[in-house]
Amino acid sequence: MRWLLALSILLLPQAAQAKDLRNRVGLGFNNQLSHIPAVSARYWLPAPNPAVNVAVELDGGVSIIDNAADAMFLGGRVLYSFVTEDNMNLYLAGGAGFMTLGEEQNVRVQPALGAEFFFFGLDNLGFMAEWGLNIDLGESSKLYTVSGGPGIGVHYYF
């Protein structure tokens, strides 16, 4: 009898509101635009409608890979959230950045599709996963997908 009461409470319809990220700053880390873990700052622009979310993001990271070559990345992205739900946003992203790996230098351009999740009770902490395409332009130009394992990240919003 108790389980029936608990189940009926869980199945009651609840009003959902879109995650309002307008005019908020998120600080965190990700590896979405580069294989180098990066510190990230994201700002969701103010908009008249809470369902319209556009963000700008700056990413930068430094790493030592295999203790032999220094790696550095600095870039930026623009994100457009086309589906906003209470605990999840789906967005399109476009970014570009400058990357060095030892003596090699490349410019990376990346279109991507991502999702940002907000777990119940953690309204200010967003967990992200992205899939997309990396286009590296430089000494060794390459084109490849980011699909085997998604780019991941975490941001805390103030």
pLDDT digits (tens, 9 = 90+) for 62-108: 887 655 568 889 999 999 998 888 889 999 999 999 988 878 889 99
Q: Give the Cα separation of 55 and 157 in Å (integer).
A: 13
Q: Would the pLDDT of 157 be above 90?
A: yes
First to last CA, the chain: 43
Give the least confident one: 9-23, 26-40, 74-88: 9-23
CATH architecture assignment, domain 22-157:
Beta Barrel (2.40)
Average pLDDT over residues 21-44: 90
What are the two backbone dihedrals, phi and then psi, of residue 66, each rounded to the nearest 5 degrees? 55, 25
Domain boundaries, the chain: 22-157
